[in-house]
Copies of this chain bind each other. A is one copy, B any other.
Amino acid sequence: MLNLDNFKEIADNYQVFFFDAFGVLKNAHGLIPNIVDTFSYIRQQQKQFYILTNDASRSPQQLAESYWRLGLHDVTADSIISSGMLAREYLQLKVKQGTAVYLGTEDSAHYIETADLRTLSISDVDLDNTADINALVLLDDEGFDWNNDLNKAVNLLRRRTIPVIVANTDNTYPTSKTQVAIAIGGVADMLENIVGKQFIRFGKPDAQLFMFAYERVVAQNPAIGKKDIVMVGDTLRTDISGGNKFGLDTVLVLTGNIPAEDAEIRIRSTGIIPTYVCESAVIPV
């Protein structure tokens, strides 16, 4: 069995914390018990944190409100970096005009509302009238009819050569203690495979989400370097793999995807090696 590290001792060596959300701060039952103490400690120490999430189903404002309702008041919209924000940056820089069709709820469409781009749900697309469509954006697994609208997306991509942006790289997400649902990232893999075209994915483990957060850190305090930041997550394939590759030290916590007894074998079999392994991200008061 793996020796576990003490999260407080680790935390004292870093200036900035990047946290994954699900499995680190909350789970299907609500907040991880006593996780609010960690944020009190970070506040007392006058250190910085960001939450890096592949959840593009709700805006940072909505996500922050949900933490508030659960009792975690330190998380503000400003401290949340979502893969949806990269989708928006891409559209602003690269698509600019016309219509962006999306798969997702109206809430998720928030991410792609920019000054000069019209947004349109896949459900409202008329396949005989696609000349104005300049991008397809996959945001959330809800808000459309899977059978009809996934077929419509395939036919749209056979007709138009346009960029397809995926704002979530997860395959599934938990819906209860024992059940999961297919995430839009899993649906995106199917569509990409079927149409045979390369999609553009944003979200952990991709470097661009880390870079987006890193630029905010440096803008606030130019003295901070990668060695001062630690990424804390419960998933090897996204949090730890992405953090490592970006050059950050990483902490695997065992409050989410990986039970304590599986940690060592998972690390050995995947070759994705966290700098530290801790029981949780809780810093007791």
Contacts and interface: CB of A to CB of B under 8 A. Distances in A.
Contact of A154 (B151, B182, B267, B275): B182
Given A90-B247, A161-B267, A194 B186 contact: yes
A181 interface: yes
Interface stretch (A14-22, A35-43, A51-59, A203-211): A203-211
Contacts of A198: 237, 241, 270-272
A231 to B, nearest CB: 12
A220 interface: no
A171 interface: yes
Interface in A147-199: 147, 150-151, 154-155, 157-159, 161-164, 171-172, 178-182, 186-187, 189-190, 193-199
Contact of A150 (B89, B182, B269): B182
A226 interface: yes
A1 interface: no
A73 interface: no
A8 interface: no
A212 to B, nearest CB: 10
Contact of A226 (B93, B162, B180): B93
A162 B244 CA distance: 12
A245 interface: yes
A68 interface: no
A25 B246 CA distance: 30
Contacts of A193: 171, 186, 189
A203 to B, nearest CB: 12
Contact of A163 (B172, B200, B273): B273
Nearest to A172: B194
Given A155-B180, A157-B271, 18 more contacts: A93-B226, A94-B244, A150-B182, A154-B180, A155-B179, A161-B271, A162-B273, A163-B244, A171-B193, A172-B194, A187-B190, A190-B190, A197-B269, A197-B270, A197-B271, A200-B244, A207-B207, A208-B245
